[in-house]
């Protein structure tokens, strides 16, 4: 039957044509993109899974790059430590050589020149080794905790700390007369020594302590109030050496000992023969005169010029070859100055004499130390300025110009400065609390050593190497603060969030080695001590390299795992979203045939109305 109504055949042809056209279009889209899922409608569940897999694979790829950067970071650090290890080994050789009794003091001083140069190079390497601007060897300022080392029971006074921060020598007023007490921070013990056991029977006044535990002290002879002599007591062996033969009750109040323990400088009214020993004492003068004594030989030398208005005990450099003193006395013959002038003495000269370094016309200069070349580090308290003046006084340079400087100390070899200040010097002290700082004159690096969050008002006494300081607690005694810097933990993201990060802790190299800028080998005892210190530093370095090595091993394992995981995630994603080209090509052929067939049949269906018109033509 032929109907003029809806042509069911035609409608079905159109429907099939639309279906095949849509399918063909989808096939074209999948073939052209290579993806099975091009929109959420294609496969909503598959799209959700594949999107998560895509993110995962991209994160893992980024993590693999992170591991590559971390590997470079640690490799650079390990390379620097390898070089430092070689330098430490050479420093150990020099220490062993200088510790041998067959070398003279002059030869040890020459050996120390190389030792000091190697020390400076290690500090330069540690400060300059960086990756992407980040130093692997810079620790974090400590959150200080104090340890009470001298209780009120001692009624302590006149405390001194060794350059390496190990020993604290102080007057023990719990004894009568006052005795000597020595705290050892390594063993944590305090040894108290009765005055009657050392030298004379009068009160003991400590004047300094060396790295290896030798204490310089002044003691009165109770039987004769006209005698106050200097003694050197070795806390490790119990040996006692008498250095002077005093004839005056005020002798030796101003005394100091060099870091290597080789030389003692003192002010005395007792007259000694130049080149003689303490037995050469022949009388007294009205005013103090400057003397030095060679500890090993006992030979004394002096400058027989009166000192009346000196500001503090003479300062010796680490190897005992130079000293400096500040005074308002007219030592230069230019008239009495308004302010204290600084004078130096070259102890290597056969004839000792004063060399004027600064002018006393404008402001006091307070001597705080000397470097190994005899350059004097001084402090102008009014302006809070630190200066370095050459050994001959020909030049002077400003080292630091701060608003606040307190408790300023010069490092053992004169190339570092340790001070406390409330200034925000490094940008880490926004609260303006009083902090400890260390400034390296060799590298120009300023480091904040403490991280106080409340104001500590006590007076600090720093170890010369910046490893510790002590302060008084009033009636409570004295406390020590360990300034060893906290480790910096470097966390490397391995693509698994916080649980997947690889952390490597690298400490402050200066603190960990514990010798940089702190040792000299200019005496046999100091060389032996340095050899022990360098040996310990090499062991520490090996431990640090082991930490880096284990980190690198983890990085290598993580890199392989990340590569495998990223590939598997990508493959899983591909299986979900990527088109099957062979299947889609077959579908393309099928849908093209169907489209062509539907088009042809639709054309035939459209001819049916023409047949009706043909039948009506004969009516």
Backbone φ, ψ for residue 510 (5° rounding): -60, -45
When pLDDT is cut at 50, 70 and 90, the band that residue 4 belongs to is very low
Whether 395 and 533 share a structural domain: no
Within a domain: 435: no
As a whole number, mean pLDDT of residues 115-123 equals 93
Do 366 and 266 fall into the same domain? no
Query: Does residue 295 fall inside a structural domain?
Result: yes
Question: Are 232 and 341 part of one and the same domain?
Answer: no
Sheet holding 315-316, edge to edge: 315-316, 322-327, 341-346, 355-356
Rounded distance, CA 98 to CA 92, Å?
A: 10
Please compute the mean of the pLDDT values over residues 582-607 and round it to a whole number.
65
Residue 290 pLDDT class (50, 70, 90 cuts): very high
Q: Verify that 255 and 302 share a domain, yes or no.
A: yes
Q: What is the spatial distance between Cα 451 and Cα 466, in angstroms, rounded to a whole number?
A: 15
601, 605, 599: which is closest to 18 by C-alpha? Answer: 599
Contacts of 62 by beta carbon, 8 Å cutoff, 6+ apart: 495
Highest mean pLDDT pick, 15-29, 162-176, 316-330, 361-375: 316-330
Residue 370, class by beta-carbon neighbours within 10 Å (0-12 exposed, 13-18 middle, 19+ buried)?
Answer: buried
- pTM of the complete model: 0.80
Residue 274 lies in a domain: yes
Same domain, 98 and 228: no
Count of structural domains, the chain = 4
Distances (CA, A) of 339 to 174, 327, 359, 369, 402: 40, 8, 8, 19, 22
Question: What CATH number is given to the structural domain containing 560?
Answer: 1.20.1330.10
β-strand 263-271 against 283-294: which pairing, if any? antiparallel
- When the pLDDT of each residue in the chain is averaged and rounded to a whole number, the result is 84
> What CATH code is carried by the domain that includes residue 265?
2.130.10.10
- Let me know whether 30 and 164 are in one domain: no
| 220 shares a domain with 111 | no
Is 351 within a domain? yes
- Whole-number pLDDT of residue 5: 47
> Does residue 416 form part of some domain?
no
Task: Give yes or no for a cis peptide into 21 (omega within 30° of 0).
Answer: no
The 406-410 sheet, strands edge to edge: 406-410, 416-421, 435-440, 446-448
End-to-end CA distance of the chain: 18
Which is nearest to 357 in space by CA: 339, 344, 367, 373? 344
How does residue 127 score in pLDDT terms, banded at 50, 70 and 90? confident
485 within some domain = no
My answer on whether 176 and 229 are in the same domain is yes
Residue 527: Cβ within 10 Å count: 25
CB proximity list for 494: less than 8 A, separation 6 or greater? 63, 66, 67, 500, 501, 502, 558, 562
Same structural domain for residues 93 and 219? no
The confidence score (pLDDT) of residue 475 equals 65
Do both 245 and 205 map to the same domain?
yes
Domain that holds residue 115: 54-134+523-570
User: Are residues 317 and 303 part of one domain?
Assistant: no
**pLDDT tens readout for residues 61-97:** 888 888 888 899 999 999 999 999 999 999 999 999 9
For the segment 110-136, the average pLDDT, to the nearest whole number, is: 91
254/105 same-domain check? no
**Beta-carbon contacts of residue 246 (< 8 Å; ≥ 6 apart):** 226, 227, 228, 229, 252, 268, 270, 281
Round to whole Å and give the CA distance between 521 and 99.
8
Domain-ending residue, one of 349, 369, 401: 401
Q: Of 351, 380, 401, which marks where a domain is finished?
A: 401
């Amino acid at each position: 039957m032929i109907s003029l109504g809806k042509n069911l055949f035609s409608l079905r042809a159109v429907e099939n044509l639309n279906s095949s056209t849509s399918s063909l279009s989808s096939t074209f889209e999948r073939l052209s993109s290579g993806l099975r899922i091009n929109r959420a409608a294609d496969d909503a569940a598959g799209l959700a899974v594949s999107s998560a897999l895509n993110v995962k694979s991209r994160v893992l790829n980024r993590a693999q790059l992170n591991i590559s950067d971390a590997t470079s970071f640690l490799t650079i650090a390990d390379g620097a430590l390898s070089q430092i290890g070689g330098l430490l080994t050479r420093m150990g050789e020099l220490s062993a050589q200088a510790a041998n009794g067959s070398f003279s003091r002059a030869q040890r001083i020459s050996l120390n020149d190389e030792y000091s140069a190697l020390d400076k190079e290690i500090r330069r390497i540690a400060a300059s080794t960086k990756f992407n601007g980040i130093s692997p060897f810079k620790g974090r300022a400590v959150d200080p905790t104090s340890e009470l080392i001298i209780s009120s029971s001692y009624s302590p006074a006149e405390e001194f700390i060794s350059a390496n921060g190990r020993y604290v020598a102080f007057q023990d007023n719990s004894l009568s007369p006052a005795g000597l007490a020595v705290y050892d921070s390594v063993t944590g013990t305090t040894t108290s020594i009765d005055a009657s056991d050392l030298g004379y029977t009068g009160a003991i006044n400590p004047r300094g302590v060396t790295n290896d535990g030798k204490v310089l002290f002044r003691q009165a002879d109770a039987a004769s109030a006209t005698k106050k002599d200097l003694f050197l007591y070795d806390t490790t062996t119990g040996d006692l050496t008498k250095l002077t033969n005093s004839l005056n009750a005020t002798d030796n109040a101003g005394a100091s000992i060099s870091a290597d323990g080789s030389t003692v400088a003192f002010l005395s009214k007792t007259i000694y023969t130049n080149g003689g020993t303490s037995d050469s004492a022949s009388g007294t003068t009205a005013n103090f005169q400057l003397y030095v004594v060679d500890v090993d030989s006992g030979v004394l030398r002096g400058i027989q010029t009166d000192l009346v208005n000196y500001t503090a005990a003479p300062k010796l450099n680490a190897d005992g070859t130079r000293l400096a003193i500040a005074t308002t006395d007219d030592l230069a013959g230019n008239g009495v100055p308004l302010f204290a002038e600084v004078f130096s003495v070259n102890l290597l000269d056969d004839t000792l004499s004063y060399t004027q370094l600064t002018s006393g016309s404008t402001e006091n200069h307070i001597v705080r130390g000397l470097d190994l070349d005899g350059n004097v580090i001084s402090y102008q308290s009014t302006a809070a300025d630190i200066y370095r003046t050459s050994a001959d006084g020909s030049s002077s340079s400003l080292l630091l110009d701060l608003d606040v400087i307190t408790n300023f100390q010069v490092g053992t070899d004169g190339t570092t400065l340790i001070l406390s200040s409330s200034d925000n010097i490094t940008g880490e002290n926004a609260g303006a609390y009083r902090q400890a700082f260390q400034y390296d004159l060799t590298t120009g690096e300023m480091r904040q050593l403490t991280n106080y969050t409340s104001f500590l008002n006590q007076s600090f006494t720093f170890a010369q190497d910046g490893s510790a300081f002590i302060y008084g607690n009033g009636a409570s005694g004295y406390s020590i603060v360990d300034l060893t810097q906290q480790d910096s933990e470097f966390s490397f993201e391995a693509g698994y969030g916080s649980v997947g990060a690889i952390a490597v802790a690298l400490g402050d190299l200066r603190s960990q080695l514990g010798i940089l800028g702190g040792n000299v080998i200019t005496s046999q005892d100091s060389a032996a001590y340095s050899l022990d210190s360098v040996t310990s530093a090499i062991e520490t370095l090996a431990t640090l390299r082991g930490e880096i090595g284990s980190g690198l091993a983890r990085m290598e394992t993580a890199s392989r795992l990340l590569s495998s995981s990223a590939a598997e995630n990508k493959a899983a994603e591909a299986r979900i979203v990527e088109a099957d080209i062979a299947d889609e090509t077959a579908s393309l052929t099928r849908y093209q045939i169907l489209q062509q067939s539907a088009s042809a049949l639709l054309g035939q269906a459209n001819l049916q109305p023409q047949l009706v018109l043909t039948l009506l033509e004969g009516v």
